[in-house]
Amino acid sequence: MPDIATSPVEIEESVTDPVTDDGDHDRFAHYVRKADAARATVEGVPVRALCGKVWVPSRDPSRYPVCPECTKIRDRLMNRSSN
Ligand SMILES: [Zn+2]
């Protein structure tokens, strides 16, 4: 796993709104790091979601359900920060 698991506070700050998987199937909105999402928008480079999926986001995420795996990981990280 990358450095997303280091600090719950850092997670909260670095996770942005979901972005969308542009695959042929299982379209979900995944949580990604804010810096990655910004760079993807500007440079068109792939991003890596919390669940580990790597792809180039290009669609409006509000039209898709949030990836259950990303949600699970994010919830776990958030919960840890409240303890
Ligand atoms: Zn995901």
Sequence ranges of the domains in the chain: 3-81
1-35 pLDDT, tens digit each: 444 444 344 444 445 555 555 554 457 788 888 88
Distance 72 CA to ligand 1 centre (A): 9
* 32 CA from centroid of ligand 1 (Å): 8
Residue 34: which of 59, 17, 22 has the closest Cα?
A: 17
Instruction: Retrieve residue 77's tokens.
Output: 């990280």
Q: Which pLDDT belongs to residue 72?
A: 93
Distance 82 CA to ligand 1 centre (A): 23
Q: What pLDDT does 22 receive?
A: 53
At 10 the pLDDT is 41
Mean pLDDT of 35-54: 87
**33/37 Cα distance (integer angstroms):** 6
CA of 30 to the centre of ligand 1 (A): 4
Total-model pTM: 0.60
